Structure 1
């Protein structure tokens, strides 16, 4: 999985290499003025990037470093970073750029499900990733289908944790909430418990299963 992430990041760098990174970005003359790009403080820049600071080309130029920083540290907000994409109409970008972002999202998601606990910087759990994917304008069903096709202990432990955090009193559950409440989820947790009943996390699987029986 490490190789897939490395390949995905390389693809992002290649796809956006033709956009030069500027040390100073043009800001709104009425509220910001020129803004120095400081890689030690990218968080404050991400809030205004593409809005009152910088152009679409600047967003594209900085996207590789932002996506890589999301994986290497917890100092950026994934939803803020990926939320830049629909504002910049990324589904109208050249196909190679769209495919690079798609490959990144797919690689991050698969890697996230592979490890428990995850080791992906700002992507601390599946919920964080799915919120960021929604911010990017993506349908969560795309990623839930991958989760369905990943019946591993790590993916099952993530599933149990998500069920444990469900608000069962919510009158209109989200797409994720509906997916989690399925009989298929309950059956999967039961199979996971049968497989891992001697493991330290067996109780988590059983408790999640019981919650879905209610």
Structure 2
């Protein structure tokens, strides 16, 4: 689905913010990678027209086994755009991008670049929460990405329930399922939330267990198709199980 105006502008600003970083003429790579083949794929089209299969593999390997921070900065706008439009590769998952940004010490980058990153994550989350998950919206992943980057989750929490149902409730249902380990406070099941501060995790847990969140999820129950209804019912059961377990202790 085509991004809304705010998100499209944020993506355009990201391309402008990172435009000064040239494409690499060679790539550093671990022995297990083929840097020439990877570079050929990344050079097969102009940056903004690179397809998922051309940039996706690199995005998953970037700065771990392939390339430098400067290389990543060049490709970052397209990686972010793929995360919005065609998130099928590991390296284009918002939480993975957030981890890579942390690895690259993005808070030491020029202010314009930091603001571009923040704007894309915030606009992407805001856009996704208004979509049916079947239309490509993944608010849960963008929300976790915001938290990994240390951005203001409180603002996102305050705004999540403002659009009319059922979309916010459906997106919350997916967040509850994705964050079941977080809600259980089981360190070994935190997943991407292990990269988030304990204080922020507690804010998110308390919010997800609140009555307004449950009410939003329940409100979507009678407004969705059978497939989505199963997802909503599963989320409500997860919340019930967590509350029951917490009460027992």
Q: TM-score, normalised by structure 2?
A: 0.66
CA distance in 1, matches of 2:178, 2:85: 26
Deviations 1:47-74 (A, max 9, x none): 3322343222111101011111122223
Q: 2:100 aligns with which of 84, 93, 102?
A: 84
Q: 1:180 aligns with which of 208, 211, 214?
A: 208
- How far off is 1:147 after superposition? 1.0
Structure-2 change in CA distance of 1:119 and 1:189 (3 Å): closer
In the alignment of these two chains, the number of paired residues is: 207
Verify the 8 A CA contact 1:19 1:57 in the aligned structure 2.
yes
Q: After the TM superposition, which of the residue ranges 163-172 and 11-20 deviates more from structure 2?
A: 163-172
Verify the 8 A CA contact 1:112 1:119 in the aligned structure 2.
no
Whose helix proportion is higher, 1 or 2? Answer: 2
Q: TM-score, normalised by structure 1?
A: 0.75
What is the Cα-based RMSD across aligned positions, in Å? 3.5
SS of the residue aligned with 2:214? helix
Tell me which residue corresponds to 1:24.
Answer: 26
CA distance in 2, matches of 1:169, 1:114: 24
Gapped runs of 5+ residues in structure 2? 43-52, 187-200, 245-249
- How far off is 1:83 after superposition? 1.8
Aligned pair 1:103/2:119, yes or no? Answer: yes
- How far off is 1:4 after superposition? 1.6
Verify the 8 A CA contact 1:86 1:137 in the aligned structure 2.
no
CA distance in 2, matches of 1:104, 1:67: 8
Deviations 1:97-145 (A, max 9, x none): 111111111111111111113534xxx5333323333444546444323
Equivalence map 1:1-214=2 (5 Å)? 2-28=4-30, 32=33, 34-35=35-36, 36-37=38-39, 38-39=41-42, 40-77=53-90, 78=93, 79-120=95-136, 125-138=138-151, 140-163=153-176, 167=180, 171-172=184-185, 174-175=201-202, 176-189=204-217, 192=219, 212=240
Structure-2 change in CA distance of 1:153 and 1:21 (3 Å): same
CA distance in 1, matches of 2:67, 2:179: 39
